[in-house]
Structure formats: C-alpha cells, structure tokens
Structure 1
Amino acid sequence: MLADDHPFVLLGVRAALEMHAGVTIVGEAATPGSLIKLLQSTPCDVLVTDLRMPDASGAVEDGLDLVRRIRCGWPLLRIVVMTALTNTAILRAIVSDGVVSTLSKMETTDELWQAIEASGKGEVYVGRSIIEALAQPGDDACDLPPASRLSRRQVEVIRMSVRGQSISEIAVALGCHRRTVSRQKREAMAKLGVTNDPGLFAYVRAYGVYES
C-alpha cells in the first residue's frame, strides 16, 4: 500500500515497485484519513508512506502520531516511511522506534526496495541519508537525554558494538558472560535514549559516548 500527497511520487513509486516480481499494489492514499479508511478495508503486508500529509481540510497532521495510530491499529503491518524532512529530532524519534523502516525521498528506488524487502522479513531498515543526517551534530543537542554518560564498561560495550562486534565476540574480548554484555548494552542504550542499533550508531557517530 502506498501513501503520499504528491501524485507524481505515487506514480513513480508504483512504477518502480511493479517491476519486482511478486509485488502487488493493493491501494493508494493521499491523506491520513483516506489511508486509515483504506487500511480498514484492504489487507496488506507493507505500507510505504510519507510522514507528513495534509488532511482533507489542508491541515498537516503530525506524522509521528499517524505512524503511532497505524501501529496501534495494525500491529502486524510493516511500515516504511519515506520523508523529505531533515529535522533530526523527528528523524531520531522515528529511528529510535525500533519497528519502522525509514529513508529519505532522495534515496534511489533500489534502496526503497531494500527497505521493503527488509520490512517484509520483519527487519528494520534505515537509509544512508537518514544515518548521515543523524550523524551531523546540530542545534538539537539539547534534545539529548540528561543521563548521557556511561560507566567505563558500558562505554567499552557500546564502542565495540558500533564497530560491528557481536554480543558473543564482546563477551569473549571482555572476559564476561553474554548476558552481562547484553544487560550492559541495554542499560547504556536506555541512558542514551535509543532503542535499536541504527539509532545507537547514529547517536555515537554524532555525539560519541563518555564515561561518568
């Protein structure tokens, strides 16, 4: 299912996706209200949607609220958000959700397909442009959670995790149990205000991690 208030965007995305075998576009919507109605009447596996669309009156609904409504009403639906927004606070909120795939409208259709494939498998995809945008320090540093300093061991775990090492590899390197590493990583992410690995990667790239 596709949702965007720009007809040419819908046309382009439809044309790109219909080139892939096994893809069926079951419906299109141009407003939040029409999208909700379509979801109520039409089953689908993956929704590709713009984040901010005007309603019938022309008012623009909060895109985060729309995504939350859809997730609440259709918890099994996989969502891919395509957005032109560059506000890092909003982007961080979407990425930190841990369920919704996100990419910029500037990405290629190949990357859109990667996001759809990942979502269809129950995975989360974050586009390169989104990660790069979140990795740029900006004026929204005041949005960071207050408890952003970690213990020495938490810093070690996070830095090794961001370098691509698995929980098992980190446990071997630090000489501790996997459960201990998992707990330290989980507690560190809670302090940093992120809930998934893409959000963690973006945070560390932008702000680093520091010992308390």
Structure 2
Amino acid sequence: MPVNVLLVDDEPLVRAGLRAVLEAQPDIRVVGEAADGAAVVPLVRQLGPDVVAMDVRMPLMDGIEATRAVLRGVSAPPKILVVTTFENDEYVYEALRAGADGFLLKRARPAEIVHAVRLIAAGDSLLFPAAVRALAAAYGNATARKGLEAARLTDREADVLRLMARGLTNAEIAVKLVVGTETVKSHVSAVLGKLGARDRTQAVIAAYESGFVTPA
C-alpha cells in the first residue's frame, strides 16, 4: 500500500516541489494540499492521509495549532512531519511538544525528503539530536527532570531512550542492543507509558529537557 501524504504550506512553490519529489516514488502518493492549518482537520477526515507534511509558520493557523487540532479532533490521527526553514525555530519545538513526529528542513535533498516520509509512516521519529538538544536548552521546562526521575525506567529502558534520543530507528536500536525488533518495540512502549508520552518524539524531548541525555 502506498504512503498517502497531505501537504500543508502557504507557499505554492514549496507544495509543488514536495509533490514532485514525493510522487516520483512508486510507494508514495500525495492525496491533497492545503495552504493553511485551518484546513487540515477537514482534509484529514476526508482524505485519510498517513502523513501530513506541515509548515510551522502560516498566516491563519500555524502548524502548532494545526497539529494540536489534528491530534485532538481525529480519532486515528496521521503522523505529522513538520517542514521548516530554520531548525532552531521555537515554532518547531512547540510543534514537537504538541505531538508532531519529527521535522525536516525545507532545504533537504529529495532523497532525504522521501526517507523522512517513509520513516515517519513506519512509526519512527525523525529528529536531529543536535538541533533538538539546542531547542530543549532554549525552550525546555524545569519540571522535566522530576518527571523522568519519577518514571523509574529500567536499565534497558534507559538504554533504549538514549538511543532514541540519538535518532536511531527501532531496527538500528535492535542491532546496537543485540535484541529483536519486537523486543525494542516493547521497550519503547514501556518508556512511553512510564513517561506519559504520546510518542517517541515527546519521550526524546523529555530526555533532553531533563538532562537525562547530554552532549557526547
């Protein structure tokens, strides 16, 4: 089955470029476009995309509010990939905290865009550790450390969270820890549950905000 993508950006040229890149792939299909976040929820309900590629800065409703609206108003929400010009944008960080599954720079190469969509659709997150660390340092909250300490992660769950924070996929974590992918999925689920995180992106943000993950 192809990965169905909804493009949301107020710049027609950006949407046209993303459409051209994605539709050149046999396993990806662009099912719709929107020029503002206010149109996202109705289109998601109508088109049922697997992934929403969402700009964060739009005139009527930005990508942060649109992300919240989708997660709040759709019973089985799609994955949300934030597409941004600047990786250190506070809007990006707030979108991730709101529930977006990762972010991609508009200057990314075509192969990187395709990889991002496939990765997000498969249930992994797309984060750039250095950028997330910088964003967490600038915009993080002071209560994150207490929350992570209270979660009482096991040693193996802590290992998994550290590798998630490095941007590794489940398959890559499995190789690192010499375990099966299903075992990694179980550990990831346990980490999310203990942290009260909607997805792995929010778990990684908590890890950086709390200081649990620090620069190498």
- What TM-score does the superposition give when structure 2 sets the normalisation length? 0.63
Q: Which amino acid aligns with 1:189?
A: L
Question: Pairwise mapping of residues 163-202 of structure 1 onto structure 2 (< 5 A)?
Answer: 163=163, 185=191, 189=195, 196-201=199-204
Contact in 2 for aligned 1:118/1:124 (Cα 8 Å): yes
Write out the 4+ residue segments of structure 1 that deviate beyond 6 Å after TM superposition.
181-184
- What TM-score does the superposition give when structure 1 sets the normalisation length? 0.64
- RMSD over equivalenced CA pairs, Å: 4.0
Alignment gaps of 5+ in structure 1:
56-60, 171-180
- 1:7 lines up with 2:8 in the alignment: no
Question: How much has 1:81 moved relative to structure 2?
Answer: 2.0
Q: Which amino acid aligns with 2:52?
A: L
Deviations 1:38-94 (A, max 9, x none): 445434333222123112xxxxx2432211212322524333221235245852651
Distance 1:185 1:30 in 2: 36
Distance 2:51 2:137 in 1: 33
Contact in 1 for aligned 2:81/2:103 (Cα 8 Å): yes
Higher gyration radius (CA): 1
Aligned equivalent of 2:130 = 132
CA spacing shift, 1:205–1:67, aligned 2, 3 Å: closer
CA spacing shift, 1:84–1:150, aligned 2, 3 Å: same
Question: How much has 1:13 moved relative to structure 2?
Answer: 0.5
Identity of aligned residues (%): 19
Question: How much has 1:10 moved relative to structure 2?
Answer: 0.8
Q: Which amino acid aligns with 2:37?
A: P
Question: How much has 1:25 moved relative to structure 2?
Answer: 2.1
Count of residue pairs the alignment pairs up: 187
Question: How much has 1:165 moved relative to structure 2?
Answer: 6.6
Contact in 2 for aligned 1:47/1:80 (Cα 8 Å): yes
Aligned equivalent of 2:50 = 45
Deviations 1:147-191 (A, max 9, x none): 15738x74855653315877xx69xxxxxxxxxx8898568635x
